A = this chain, B = another copy of it.
Amino acid sequence: MERWDTLELAFSGKTNGNPFTDYDIKGTFSCDEEVKTVEGFYDGDGTYKIRFMPSFEGKYSYRIFGSFSEKEYEGDFTVETPSENNHGTVRVKNKFHFAYDDGTPYYSIGTTCYVWHLKDGEMKKKTLSSLEKAGFNKIRFCVFPKHYCYNTDDPEYFPFEGTPMDAGLVTKENFFSFNPHSEGNNWDFERFNPEYFRNIEYCISELRRLGIEADIILFHPYDRWGFSVMDNETDIRYLKYVIARFSAYRNVWWSLANEYDYMPEKTVEHWDEIGNYIMANDPYGHLRSIHNGPNIYDHTKPWVTHCSIQRCDMYKTAECTDEYRQKYQKPVVLDEIVYEGNIKEGWGNIAADEMVRRFWEAVCRGGYPGHGETYMSDDDILWWSHGGILKGESHKRVQFLLDILKEIPCHGLRRNPVSDFTNWDCVCAVPENDEDALRTGYHLYYFGFMQPSYRDFNFGGDDEYSVEIIDTMDMTITYVGKFKGYFIIDLPAKKYIAIRIQKAI
């Protein structure tokens, strides 16, 4: 196996009583650089599993033990150099940014398909293909099924043993009258349905194959089955199971909730309990955050690794990135800045160019935007919920923006702290760290809905600067030339133009 891949070991074990709760299985994995003890899980049919993600190369040994069996198991294996597209787990780096374990910067532009994993195999393949083609490197999706507009069917299977309320009772007209405490749901919250989780693991591993982070939403309010109102003990049992199953996948992120503040039965104390539990029990320290409705969570909490933010204002979201950075002192991921689409709901009907504008605003202020798409469809297949085929225009501009981010001659941007003309009509991004800024002279000016026909610059000194004009919608980069001192650049006098200036080599 290679470094940062998943080793899975399976063992037969006890089946009497409730194997999900009555027994445990643990594994200690050792190499020269690390010794890690991880929890396993019951996978049904008398099988217990342990998963492990090695953080180092070389020879590992392991010991498997626990009440699941009278026996213990030992063995060893060798971890090889990772292959080209395996960079490890994404972590916070350079305070406001992310990088993989191997140091490669990770510039996040994600999307959202809440329950794409619950669609059939063909649809899942379509979704994966769409993700790959657009270049998204993160996707947010829920563990639990979703009860919401454009999404009223029961899934094929459920996370717990038992039976759901009659889905036939749900219509477009009455679906808001169902609530998580609806009668007719009959679950054994102490017995998981391994098949349900195996499907999610298939999705996580397929995403990993494509280099896409799986931002897994652990709880959400769009529910008629009762999964959003389980008691605290059940929540923790569920987390323990999910951590045991998912955490050895290098591309996992933990999103505690979508719109946590629309779940009134969960207190902030309980969210913090959940966050702290994950922080203490996830052996790999995957990224952790929580997504808001109207009230942004207090992302200064120690368990929060980065901000996951939904817009709180009709006009400014991406534009608040620097404010959020200042306030929370962590990377800012804008996971919901309104979805491109045309549904009646106000969180799902911005125009494509406005979406792309928000991408650029976020990036030039040192944050990371998120995409979503909600175009009406006769078959009620909306990307944001189900995945499938992308129908919009903004996703076509994602790879282009990512390529520009990857070309930054340093790790991460921030808004230029030097107040200049940009305060009036554009945002100027410079390297996060002063020494990089000085060394590279890198400036990325973004003009959004402004349309100057020319701009003058005065960089002073004797250095030559190369200047390029970027059309962020048409996705062209036009080299203008090399300049020094005071110079004037003609611009196309249209919307959505950026200028990239950096020291000529």
Q: A351-B450, A451-B351, A453-B376 are in contact. Are A424 and B344 (CB under 8 A)?
A: no
Question: What are 17 inter-chain pairs, A to B, with CB distance below 8 A?
Answer: A314-B423, A315-B315, A338-B450, A342-B452, A344-B454, A344-B455, A346-B421, A346-B425, A349-B425, A349-B447, A350-B451, A351-B450, A351-B451, A354-B449, A354-B495, A376-B453, A376-B454
A349 CB to nearest chain B CB (Å): 4
Please provide the 7 A-B residue pairs with the shortest distance between their CB atoms, ordered closest to farther: A346-B424, A346-B425, A342-B453, A342-B493, A354-B449, A349-B452, A349-B450
Report the Cα distance A493→B348, complex, angstroms.
12
Additional pairs, 11, CB under 8 Å, beyond known A342-B453, A351-B451:
A314-B424, A314-B425, A315-B315, A315-B319, A344-B453, A345-B424, A345-B425, A349-B447, A351-B450, A351-B494, A376-B454
A426 CB to nearest chain B CB (Å): 7
Report the Cα distance A129→B453, complex, angstroms.
27
A327 interfacial by beta-carbon distance below 8 Å = no
Q: A316-B316, A425-B314 are in contact. Are A450 and B350 (CB under 8 A)?
A: yes
A343 interfacial by beta-carbon distance below 8 Å = yes
Q: A424-B345, A425-B314 are in contact. Are A351 and B452 (CB under 8 A)?
A: no
The 0/1 profile, CB within 8 Å of B marked 1, for residues 330-354 of chain A is 0000000010011111110111011
List chain B residues, Cβ under 8 A from A349.
Answer: 425, 447, 450-453
A462 interfacial by beta-carbon distance below 8 Å = no
| Smallest CB gap from A454: residue in B | B344
Report the Cα distance A351→B449, complex, angstroms.
6
List chain B residues, Cβ under 8 A from A435.
Answer: none
A34 interfacial by beta-carbon distance below 8 Å = no
A379 interfacial by beta-carbon distance below 8 Å = no
A456 interfacial by beta-carbon distance below 8 Å = yes
Q: A315-B316, A316-B315, A319-B314 are in contact. Are A343 and B453 (CB under 8 A)?
A: yes
List chain B residues, Cβ under 8 A from A426.
Answer: 346
A383 CB to nearest chain B CB (Å): 15
| Smallest CB gap from A447: residue in B | B349
For chain A, residues 274 to 305, give those with C-beta under 8 angstroms from any C-beta of chain B.
Answer: none
Report the Cα distance A424→B314, complex, angstroms.
6
Report the Cα distance A453→B454, complex, angstroms.
38
A88 CB to nearest chain B CB (Å): 38
Report the Cα distance A421→B454, complex, angstroms.
41
List chain B residues, Cβ under 8 A from A493.
Answer: 342, 376
Most buried by B among A319, A351, A447: A351
| Smallest CB gap from A493: residue in B | B342
Report the Cα distance A353→B495, complex, angstroms.
10
A496 CB to nearest chain B CB (Å): 9
Report the Cα distance A452→B494, complex, angstroms.
25
A149 CB to nearest chain B CB (Å): 11
Residue in contact with A456 in the complex, picked from B344, B351, B451, CB distance below 8 Å? B344
| Smallest CB gap from A318: residue in B | B315
Report the Cα distance A445→B316, complex, angstroms.
20
The 0/1 profile, CB within 8 Å of B marked 1, for residues 350-361 of chain A is 110110000000
Are the C-beta atoms of B346 and A450 separated by less than 8 Å? yes
A55 CB to nearest chain B CB (Å): 44
Report the Cα distance A451→B373, complex, angstroms.
13
List chain B residues, Cβ under 8 A from A344.
Answer: 452-456
A232 CB to nearest chain B CB (Å): 32
Are the C-beta atoms of A347 and B424 separated by less than 8 Å? yes
List chain B residues, Cβ under 8 A from A494.
Answer: 351
The 0/1 profile, CB within 8 Å of B marked 1, for residues 418-446 of chain A is 00011111100000000000000000000
Report the Cα distance A451→B347, complex, angstroms.
11
Report the Cα distance A338→B426, complex, angstroms.
13
| Smallest CB gap from A345: residue in B | B424
A334 CB to nearest chain B CB (Å): 15
